Chain A
Amino acid sequence: MTHLATAEASKTAPPEHEMKMEDVVPVINDIIERYRGTKGALIPVLQSTQNLLGHLPKEMLIHISEQLDIPYSEVAGVVTFYSFFTTTPRGKHTIRVCLGTACYVRGGKEVLEAISKELHIEVGQTTEDRQFSLEIGRCFGACGLAPVVMIDDMVFQRVKPSRIKQLLEPYYDTTQEGEDDGERE
């Protein structure tokens, strides 16, 4: 049996409009129902939930804990253990800089620093306008093209620190031009 989380996790891009809690509860309940009786259901349920919501708010974790009859402490323990899970909202675009060894020796760290400087955020953070979240990746399997940066599900190859502005340009939300222009320059 293939479970739901599989199909959803294939989409690396965050949803266009993240769903609201009240809309999502029935959907989550459906997912939980599918897993009722399946052993080890917690992680797939959390993965599906995060794919819908973009992150895992505390109220949702409590809801899942009650529904699956697993202590909240255990749910929170799992969520904080795995780097895939996040309890804070993410940006519209996720930038993942590969820091696998091949990318590292071919300058991945410098690329990461340049992006971090450009967006004024550290790894794991999201820009204030919630446009970008910055993460590191461990090997996307494109080592021949190192260093590699992934923005949502697009892979950019042989990225140079001096070309970061051009790389990010198409991703800025043009509808907010007036507001964030000042910060960028």
Chain B
Amino acid sequence: MAFRNYILVCGGTACESSKANAIYEALLAECKAQGVADEVQVLKTGCFGFCEQGPIVKILPEDSFYVQIKPEDAKELIAEHVVKGREVKRLLYTKDCGRKHARVEDIEFYQKQFRIVLRNCGFIDPENIEEYIAREGYVALEKVLFEMSSDDVIAELRTAGLRGRGGAGFPTWMKWNFTRQAESDQKFIVVNADEGDPGAYMDRSTLEGDPHSVLEAMIIAGKTVGSNQGYIYIRAEYPLAIKRLEIAMAQAREMGLLGKNILGSGFDFDIEIRLGAGAFVCGEETALLASIEGKRGMPVPRPPFPAVKGLWGKPTVINNVETWANIAMIIVKGGDWFSRIGTADSSGTKVFALTGKIRNSGLVEVPMGTTLREIIYDIGGGIADGKEFKAVQTGGPSGGVITKEYLDTPIDFGSLTKLGSMMGSGGMIIMDEDDCIVDVAKFYLNFSVDESCGKCSPCRIGGRSLANLLEKISKGNGELADLDQMIEIGEAMKKASLCALGQTAPNPILSSLHYFRDEYLAHIVDKKCPAGKCKSLISYNILPDKCIGCTACARKCPVAAISGERREVHVIDQAACIKCGVCFETCKFGAIEVR
């Protein structure tokens, strides 16, 4: 039955946390109350990607893009848009120019995007397998079960040129082929959904918005390499993704797409979910496998690679979520089609979590070879609050900073590594003039130090030593010799650490030292933090000509360091001040200055 209108409510984590559920319920209730329940279908979908504007509601077929919706808006949306056929102008997405955008394709945020991985996110109800099937879902599986040989599948992946999206970019067909060729009574398929980069959530959104795309790919891999058992290792912090995976698995099983004798082909495959227990290092494949085995998640030296000797010593294909989400489309549309997207060396697309000081935060998928400038300025809308762009960090704690001069670099696996950063899993954090590069380097390094498993000494001791040096610099006690020492330690860690965590942990320091040496020198020589972030090097002061004596800051100060009579200029007691910045944030008159 066709409906007059389809109302899609974004059910990604960000929108759910802004009452998307209540909006969904309110829309359903209003449809009933206004007598259009039979003519309208209200759906909760996966992430639309444009998180900055959430919660988002899209109404089809007009493709009207309503943003920052509240449950109270439901009545008007149904009464106006659905019943009277008039768009609710005040809720439509408005760009800076003031023009109202009725249609999604008019929105710059989406214009340069190309969606393969996120093809269904925001279009289908992830809790209904039929919607996935309606969009060519499980077509690839059918092809693989009945028409293609294992050789054909691997050849197709080889033509496609798909490389691992977890960070390292290893060719996927080679991994699969190693496992296929390995002789063993048992083989395993593993999904790495232990997304650990603090600031990346593409895997989570993919699983929340389109869980079947990953399940289908796992079964395809099982058939191709000869495995009957798959595991999805996912962070326990992703309850919504876990719930949707469970629903998807139950529905697939019911329809004969998972379990015994899939689609009558005689092929059996089943999947089990394992929850991560909060260890970043488990994103490293050998550590992840150890964790599934019920052990401490510590990496082991490779080779042997998991493809040959993985879970419980058996050959194991392990890929990350985004890699898996590409597979079915490659089988359906062909490796040739895929290889024509992106660049020669890196085909396909990449999903990035664009966050930080950017106007349009959100999840974006672009063809490889798109430049950083296009992502940041065309899609992301530039820097928030009219500030100056300072740097972009890709690759999270394993990557590095990239500066203005390199914004026209086309993004692929090779180009980012050449700049001292890396692709990583797809975190893309934008920093502006208010961000201190030493502080950010310290943040990333402390993250890696916290998460180091402690097995090998270059990572365990090297990381700690680097952290100490950075702390010393940010406290204003740094010496010039510290810089050389940091480079020396960093280089040693890169060479000698056991796994990628330790090998890449120094990257944020080495790259920021390379591009922002002056800022380190300001901390060491001038004892100043130009961005005003490093607390030991700044002080808050009240500007006498701007202070009107409203007492707001004095009332908010947690340590009572601000004194002054009503209607008179206030003063901060520097000895008592803990530099929490609450006064700065509270003052409405710009009377507090950071020096």
- Whether the Cβ atoms of A161 and B581 lie closer than 8 Å is yes
For A114, the closest partner residue in chain B by CB is: B580
Contacts A40-B292, A47-B277, A143-B361 known; A104 to B443 CB distance under 8 Å? yes
Name the B residues within 8 Å of A100 (CB-CB): 198-199
Q: Is B453 among interface residues, defined by CB-CB distance under 8 A?
A: yes
Q: Is B270 among interface residues, defined by CB-CB distance under 8 A?
A: yes
B274 to chain A, nearest CB (A): 7
Compute how far the CA of A7 lies from the CA of B298 in the bound complex, rounded to whole angstroms: 26
Compute how far the CA of A74 lies from the CA of B298 in the bound complex, rounded to whole angstroms: 13
Contacts A1-B272, A106-B356, A110-B581 known; A143 to B277 CB distance under 8 Å? no
- Whether the Cβ atoms of A162 and B275 lie closer than 8 Å is no
For B312, the closest partner residue in chain A by CB is: A39
Q: Is B429 among interface residues, defined by CB-CB distance under 8 A?
A: yes
Name B295's contact: one of A78, A105, A145 (CB within 8 Å). Answer: A78
- Whether the Cβ atoms of A84 and B277 lie closer than 8 Å is yes
Name B580's contact: one of A3, A12, A155, A161 (CB within 8 Å). Answer: A161
- Whether the Cβ atoms of A144 and B582 lie closer than 8 Å is no
A152 to chain B, nearest CB (A): 12
- Whether the Cβ atoms of B274 and A43 lie closer than 8 Å is yes
- Whether the Cβ atoms of A42 and B580 lie closer than 8 Å is no
Compute how far the CA of A70 lies from the CA of B293 in the bound complex, rounded to whole angstroms: 13
Q: Is B212 among interface residues, defined by CB-CB distance under 8 A?
A: no
- Whether the Cβ atoms of B275 and A161 lie closer than 8 Å is no
For A140, the closest partner residue in chain B by CB is: B13
Q: Is A174 among interface residues, defined by CB-CB distance under 8 A?
A: no
B residues 467-496 in Cβ contact with A at 8 Å: none
- Whether the Cβ atoms of B242 and A157 lie closer than 8 Å is no
Compute how far the CA of A82 lies from the CA of B290 in the bound complex, rounded to whole angstroms: 13
A94 to chain B, nearest CB (A): 12
Q: Scoring A residues 128 to 151 as 1 if CB is less than 8 Å from chain B, else 0, what string do you get?
A: 000000000111111111101000
Name the B residues within 8 Å of A139 (CB-CB): 197-201
Name the B residues within 8 Å of A157 (CB-CB): 17-18
A residues 26-74 in Cβ contact with B at 8 Å: 39-44, 46-47, 70, 74
For B427, the closest partner residue in chain A by CB is: A101
- Whether the Cβ atoms of A9 and B361 lie closer than 8 Å is no
Contacts A101-B356, A141-B13, A162-B556 known; A84 to B443 CB distance under 8 Å? no
16 A-B residue contacts at CB 8 Å? A3-B272, A6-B273, A7-B246, A39-B293, A40-B292, A43-B294, A84-B236, A84-B277, A101-B199, A101-B355, A101-B356, A101-B427, A102-B199, A138-B237, A143-B199, A145-B18
A contact residues vs B (CB 8 Å cutoff): 1-3, 5-7, 9-12, 39-44, 46-47, 70, 74, 77-78, 81-85, 99-102, 104-106, 110, 113-114, 117, 137-146, 148, 153-155, 157, 160-162
Q: What 9 pairs across the A-B complex have the smallest Cβ distances?
A: A144-B51, A155-B17, A141-B201, A101-B199, A82-B277, A144-B361, A102-B355, A83-B278, A143-B355
